[in-house]
Amino acid sequence: MWYFGGVFGLATLALWIFCLVDVITTPDGAPRNLPKFGWLVLVLILPLIGSLLWLIAGRPQSTTAYRPTAYERSAPRFPEYDRPGRFAATDTAADEEFLRRCRERAEQQRRQARGETTES
């Protein structure tokens, strides 16, 4: 019964949990030599041998770069930030005029909130 006791038992449990999660999170067509369901059954029924076999013969070898799946975005989340030239202001006079009008309107709203009357 030394198989399930002590440090060896804890190492087997950790290996089994790691391989079980790894099999579950692996995409369907990626495992080698058996379908994903077959590897899942093998790792569940034979914890030590199944886990070692998964690491040696079943785990996919990822030598290629990560490619997004069909439902993942390939574009950045906010593409407008990647093109600053498109949104960059080139007319500083128009910017200053816009800011001046914003300040005037904010001041007018402050006066109205305090109860002052404006005579503009």
Q: Does residue 71 lie within any of the structural domains?
A: no
Please indicate, yes or no, whether residues 46 and 83 belong to a single structural domain of this protein.
no
Q: Which bin fits 33, alpha (ψ -120 to 50), beta or left (φ > 0)?
A: left
Position 49 scores a pLDDT of 93
In terms of pTM, does the model score above 0.75?
Answer: no
Please indicate, yes or no, whether residues 86 and 53 belong to a single structural domain of this protein.
no
Position 108 scores a pLDDT of 93
Position 1 scores a pLDDT of 45
Please indicate, yes or no, whether residues 52 and 84 belong to a single structural domain of this protein.
no
Please indicate, yes or no, whether residues 53 and 96 belong to a single structural domain of this protein.
no
Q: Does residue 72 lie within any of the structural domains?
A: no
Q: Does residue 28 lie within any of the structural domains?
A: yes
User: What CA–CA distance (Å, rounded) separates 2 from 10?
Assistant: 11
Position 50 scores a pLDDT of 93
User: What CA–CA distance (Å, rounded) separates 9 from 7?
Assistant: 5
Domain count, the chain: 2
Q: Could you tell me the residue range of the domain that residue 17 belongs to? A: 6-58
Q: Does residue 99 lie within any of the structural domains?
A: yes
In tens digits, the chain (120 residues) has pLDDT values of 455 578 888 888 999 999 999 999 988 888 888 999 999 999 999 989 999 999 999 888 765 656 666 666 666 666 655 555 555 556 777 788 888 999 999 999 999 999 876 555
Please indicate, yes or no, whether residues 10 and 52 belong to a single structural domain of this protein.
yes
What tokens does 41 get? 């059954």
